[in-house]
Amino acid sequence: MTTEARRTLIEAAQELYATNGVAATTPREVLARSGVGQGSLYHHFPSKRDLAAAAVAQTVDDTLGSAAATLDGADAPQRRIADYLERPRAATAGCRVGRLTADPVVMGDETLRGEVSRYFTELIELVAQAFAEQGLDAAAARDRATTAVAVIQGGYVLSRALGDDAAMSSAVRGLLELMEPRTDWARGEEQA
C-alpha cells in the first residue's frame, strides 16, 4: 500500500532525528531502520528535505497535541501550569523540537524552520493563556510564559550537557519556588 511505506518512513525518520538530528541522519539509515527499499524512499520523498518536512511536521503536531492536552484542561490554571512543568520527561534525550534549532539543515530550510517556529509560537500562547487566567495582564502573562517554556528548553540543554535528568528537575523546582506565594515573609495565601 502506498500510504504504508510512507508512514513507516516518516516514523523511522522521526526516531532518528530525535537521536541524531536531521543533518546527521542519512537516507541510508532511514532505509535500514524502516526496512523499506531505496526506490520507495525516493518515490515518496523526492529529496531528503521532503522527508524531513513531513517527519518534522508530524513531530511538531504530536508534541504540540500532547502539550495542549495538559494546558487546555479544565483544571485551575495554576494546576495546569504545574502539571506541564512537572510532566515526566526524558530530559537527557533532549527536546525533539528544540534541538532542531541547532540543526543546520533545519535552519537552512524555510519550511522546516517554519515548523519549529510554529511549535514554539503555539506553545508559548497556550502557557500565556493559563497565566492570563490567573490574573496577569497580557504582557506579563506572555513574559512569564516565555520564561516557563525557556526553563523547560534550557532544562533539556542542561540535562543533556550534564548527562543527568536532575538538571531539568532542579530548573523546574527553582521556577516553581519563585512562582509560589511567598508565605515566609508576606501574607499567607493568594488563592484557594
Partner DNA sequence: GTCTATATTGTGATAGAC
Partner DNA sequence: GTCTATCACAATATAGAC
Find the shortest distance in angstroms from Cβ 2 to a second copy.
32
Question: Which residues are within 8 A (CB) of 140 and not within 5 positions of it... i.e. 6 or more apart?
Answer: 131
Find the shortest distance in angstroms from Cβ 47 to DNA.
4
Find out whether 29 and 22 touch, Cβ atoms under 8 Å.
Answer: no
Q: Which does 16 bind (CB under 5 to 8 A by kind): a second copy, DNA, none?
A: none
Q: CB-wise, 44 or 96, nearer to a second copy?
A: 96
The answer to the question of residue 110 lying near DNA (CB under 7 A) is no
The answer to the question of residue 39 lying near DNA (CB under 7 A) is yes
Side chain identity at residue 21, one-letter code: G
Cα distances from 14 to residues 51, 166, 168, in angstroms, run 10, 26, 23
Contacting DNA (CB under 7 A), which of 14, 15, 33, 40? Answer: 40
Ranges of H-type helices in 45-187: 48-71, 77-86, 104-107, 110-133, 138-162, 166-179
The answer to the question of residue 19 lying near DNA (CB under 7 A) is no
Contacting DNA (CB under 7 A), which of 11, 14, 27, 150? Answer: 27
Contacting a second copy (CB under 8 A), which of 34, 59, 70, 153? Answer: 153
Find out whether 148 and 175 touch, Cβ atoms under 8 Å.
Answer: yes
Other Cβ atoms less than 10 A from the Cβ of 6: the count is: 18
Q: Which does 101 bind (CB under 5 to 8 A by kind): DNA, a second copy, none?
A: a second copy
Contacting DNA (CB under 7 A), which of 10, 16, 17, 44? Answer: 44
Give the count of residues interacting with a second copy (CB under 8 A): 56
The answer to the question of residue 64 lying near a second copy (CB under 8 A) is no
C-alpha grid cell, residue 164: 543527568
Give one word for 139, left, alpha or beta, with left for phi > 0 and alpha for psi -120 to 50.
Answer: alpha
The answer to the question of residue 100 lying near DNA (CB under 7 A) is no
User: What is the binding site for DNA (CB under 7 A)?
Assistant: 1-2, 4-5, 26-29, 36-40, 42-44, 46-49
